[in-house]
Amino acid sequence: MVNTSSFNHRSSADDVLRDQNLGGQVIIVTGANTGIGYETARSLAAAGASVIATCRTAEKAAATKQRLMQRYPEGTVETAVMDLASLVSVSDFCTQLSHSKIDIVICNAGVVAPKYTETSEGFEQTVGVCHVGHFLLVKKLLPKILSAPAPRIIMVSSESHRTPSRLDFDALPYPRAKFRPMKAYGQAKLCNALMAVELHRRFADQGLTACYLHPGTMVTTEIGRDSALVRIVMRLARPFTKSANQGAATSVFCAIWDDCSELGGNYFSHSAKAKPSAETANTEAATRLWELSERWLREKGFDG
C-alpha cells in the first residue's frame, strides 16, 4: 500500500516507487524519449513493470531503448514509434501492438506550438497532439485496456487547464485566425482533463479508473521543442522548479495508488489529490468533447 502522507512537491518518481513490485503490469508511456516521459518509463521499468515507451521517431525509439536497457538490462522494456501528430502513426502502433492486455496507459506526450501548425490530418498541432492523438490511442486500445484486471488511464494535463475557464468549442481545434500558443495549450490541457472525466464516467462500471494530473511547473521537458522562447524561459526557471524525476512522481503515483475510489475522475498534483477548475465538473462539456472527438475521427477515416 502506498503511504500517501510521505510525499510532497519535492518527491521523485523513485521515492514514490520505492519497494514497489510492478511485475506483470504492462504500461504504455507516450512521449517517453525525454523529460518527464523518460523518467516515468525509467522508474516504472526499475520497479519491474513491462514498459512500452513510445517515441515520435525510430531514431528516438532506438536511443531510448538503449538508454533504458543499459540501466536495467534485466528489465522488460519495449520502444515503439508513435507520432501523435499523425493518426496513421497512432493507428499503426495500436494495430501492431501484440499484447493481449494493457494495464495502464500514461498519456504523457505534449507540445506547445509557437505558431499555427497543423498535424498530418489538419488539426491544430497543440490540440492535435495533446488531445486528438491520445483520444484515438485510447479508443483503439480500449478492448485491451478493459481486459486488464484493474485498468487505468492517466492523462498528464497541467495547471494550464484552468485557462480558458470554459472549453471554447468555437475555437476547437484552435483556428488559424485566432491562434495564440498558450491559449491553444490551455484548451488542449482542459481537453485532457475532460477526457479523463468522461472516460471514468463511461467505463468505471467495467473496472476502468481514469484521472488527470499536473506534473509540476516548468519541469525539464521537450514540450517547447518547437519554440526557442519557451526553451529559454524553461532553462532560466529550471533551478527553481522540479527535476524531470520529480515531475514524473505524480504520474507514477496515479499508476500505483491503491484507492481507486479516490483516484477515479479526479485531479492530482504533487502526488496528492488537488482541486481542479470548475469546468472539469461540466459533464455536458465532457460528453460534447467526447462526441466531437469521435466525429473528428470518423471524418478522417478513423473510427477508433
Spacing of C-alpha 63 from chain mean position: 21
CA 180, CA 176: separation in Å to the nearest integer? 9
In the residue annotation, 185 being an active-site residue is answered as yes
Q: Which of 38, 174, 185, 267 is catalytic?
A: 185
Catalytic residue numbers read: 185
